[in-house]
Structures are given as C-alpha cells and as structure tokens.
C-alpha cells in the first residue's frame, strides 16, 4: 500500500455521516489540517439537544454555521467537547460557548469553560445520546476519543485521520502512549462493534479495524526506518527526517521532525539505540 488508507474513498467530507453524527467542515485547509477541521454535531434522533465536538478555529462564520445547522434540525447545542487542545480544534471554543451558552469540556483543565472536565471511562448522556470518553494519549497527552456505541462509531480527533497518518507531537505526545491508544482502538473495532471512524480531519472511514491496522503497521515501519537511519549514522532529527521522510511533502517536515523526536525517545527508552 502506498499511503492510501483502507476505507470508502467515496465518503465525502461534511454532511450526515451516521444517524447521529453530522460534519460541518471548517474553512481552514492546509497540509496539516487536510481539507480543514471536522466539527461534529451529534444528537439522538427525536431529541432537541445536540453535542458539538471540536468547534474548530476562531472563525465567526464557521461557528455560526454550526449553530444554524443544529437549529435547522430543531436542535440546540447543549454541550461542547474537545478531542484535544490544538488550536485548529479548540481555538473557537470560547466564542462558541458564548454564542451557545454551552459549557466546554476537555481533558486538559486549561481548555475547559465551566465546572466539569472529562475523564477516561466517563459516560455522557445528553438528551438520550450515549457517548463514552476514552483516553487516547499519544498525538498529544490530552487526546480523547469519543465512542458513539449506537452508531458503532468513534470520534478520533487527530488520533486517527481520514487520510494519511498523524503526528506524535513531541515532547507532549509520546509514541509509547500512542501505540497503546491504537491497540485500545483496535480492540474496540475487533470486539466491540466499532466500524466507523469520524476523524478530526479528512473523510469518514467505513473500516475502523482496517484503518487502525494500517496505522499500527505504518508506525512499526517508520520506527524500523528511524532505527536504521540512526545505525547508518544520522545524528539529528533533521537528518533522520531528510532520509526517512524523503517521500513526504516538505510542508510536513516540521511535524515529521516532532514525530522523529518522539520515535528517537521511544527507541532510547527501550534500549534500542544508545543515549
Ligand atoms: Zn492535533
């Protein structure tokens, strides 16, 4: 496979993805954010309450469009959640909370607005919508995945993207944590009926198990390449990037360098390369 994810290439970005989840695409495309940030609007059929996951960047038009989309369906935003604190997901949250009067809940207290946070294993019920909180650190230390059991779906933020692969944001993100998180999601797809990935960027993936398998294989492959590069004499992260990520868009090299630093840390921690 040459960097193509398994999944449904026809699945679009924006609009209804599952019976309970609808995507409003933010207008912030870039090499890092792909088509832009996916803001997710979730609601139980028949309920007049909605949950928004990742309001996205501070873009007034986008935030208002999310609210209008909810209103067109006869729903009011009752709660805002963040998958993690990166600005392309969280920057608009304070303004969105102002516009909707909803609380913002996140793992990292610095990104909360209101009295309540989120913790791994927590269950949320908003107008009958059953949502489970899963700690999936690695991309960042505060990364969460939200499980929507009724639709067999997971909202993965930047932990699993709809296209390509993600970065481990060293030093906050750690590769060992990330691999554990991927294995956890693998178990959910293999044993707990999770089929659909609703990612933070890129299209919906219809084969969650295939996507997570691809991510695990990709990370193992990159790690082996980094180890080989060090053995071949690469001394700095930039040297490793130039060798291992030669096939990757140079706009992504700064992110790749953080991922390489995370991989070097992992290899040292496991005694696979010298300190
Ligand atoms: Zn991120």
Q: What is the pLDDT of residues 146-165, one digit of tens each?
A: 999 999 999 999 999 999 89
Q: Is residue 191 in a domain?
A: yes
Exposure b/e, 65-99, CB count within 10 A at least 16 = b: bbbebbeeeebbbbbbbbbbbbebbbbbbeebbeb
**Residue-range definition of the domain harbouring residue 162:** 15-215
| Among 227, 256, 233, 92, residue whose Cα is nearest residue 167 | 256
Convert the pLDDT of each residue in 89-101 to its tens digit.
999 999 999 999 9
Distance, CA of 163 to CA of 36 (rounded, Å): 12
- Return the bridge partners of 153, or none: 148, 196
Query: Strands of 21-25's sheet, edge to edge?
Result: 15-18, 21-25, 38-42, 49-53, 76-81, 103-105
Q: What is the mean predicted confidence (pLDDT) over 140-144?
A: 98
Ligand 1 centroid distance, CA of 73 (Å): 29
Residue 237 lies in a domain: no
User: What is the whole-number distance in angstroms between the Cα of residue 158 and the centre of ligand 1?
Assistant: 5
pLDDT at 110 over 50: yes
Interval between CA 139 and ligand 1 midpoint (Å)? 7
Quote the pLDDT of residue 203: 95
pLDDT tens profile 163-195: 989 999 999 999 999 999 999 999 999 999 999
Quote the number of domains for the chain: 1
Q: Is residue 42 part of a domain?
A: yes
Confidence of residue 12 (pLDDT cuts 50, 70, 90): low
Tokens in use for 42? 């979730």
105, 78 contact by CB (below 8 A): no
Tell me, in angstroms, the distance from the centre of ligand 1 to residue 267's CA: 23
Model pLDDT, residue 3? 31
pTM: 0.93
φ, ψ at 130 (rounded to 5°): -95, 120
Radius of gyration (C-alpha) of the chain in whole angstroms? 19
CATH number at residue 49: 3.60.15.10
- The set of residues, in sequence order, having a beta carbon less than 8 Å from that of 45 and lying 6+ positions away, is 19, 20
C-alpha 166 to ligand 1 mean position (Å): 8
Question: What is the CA(42)–ligand 1 centre distance, in A?
Answer: 21
**CA-based angle 128:106:262, to the nearest 5?**
130
pLDDT at site 15:
85
């Amino acid at each position: 496979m040459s960097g193509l994810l398994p999944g449904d290439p026809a699945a679009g970005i924006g609009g209804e993805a599952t019976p309970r989840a609808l995507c409003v695409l933010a207008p912030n495309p870039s090499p890092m954010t792909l088509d832009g940030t996916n803001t997710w609007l979730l609601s139980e059929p028949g309920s007049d309450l909605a949950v928004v996951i990742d309001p996205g960047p501070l873009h007034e038009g986008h935030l208002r469009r999310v609210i209008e989309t909810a209103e067109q369906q006869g729903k009011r935003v009752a709660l805002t959640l963040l998958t993690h604190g990166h600005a392309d997901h969280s920057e608009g949250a304070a303004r969105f909370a102002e516009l909707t009067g909803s609380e913002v809940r996140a793992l990292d207290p610095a990104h909360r607005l209101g009295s309540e946070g989120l913790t791994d294993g927590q269950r949320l019920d908003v107008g009958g919508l059953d949502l489970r909180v899963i700690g999936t650190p690695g991309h960042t230390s505060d990364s969460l995945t939200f499980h929507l059991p009724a639709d067999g779906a997971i909202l993965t933020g930047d932990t699993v993207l709809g296209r390509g692969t993600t970065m481990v944001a060293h030093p906050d993100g750690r590769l060992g944590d990330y691999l554990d998180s991927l294995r956890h999601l693998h178990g959910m797809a293999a044993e707990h009926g999770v089929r659909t990935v609703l990612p933070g960027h890129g299209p919906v993936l219809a084969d969650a198990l295939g996507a997570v398998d691809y991510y695990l294989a990709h990370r193992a492959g990159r790690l082996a390449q980094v180890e080989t590069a060090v053995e071949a004499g690469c001394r700095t992260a930039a040297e490793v990037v130039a060798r291992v990520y030669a096939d990757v868009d140079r706009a992504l090299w700064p992110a790749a360098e953080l991922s390489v630093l995370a991989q070097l840390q992992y290899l040292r921690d496991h005694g696979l390369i010298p300190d």
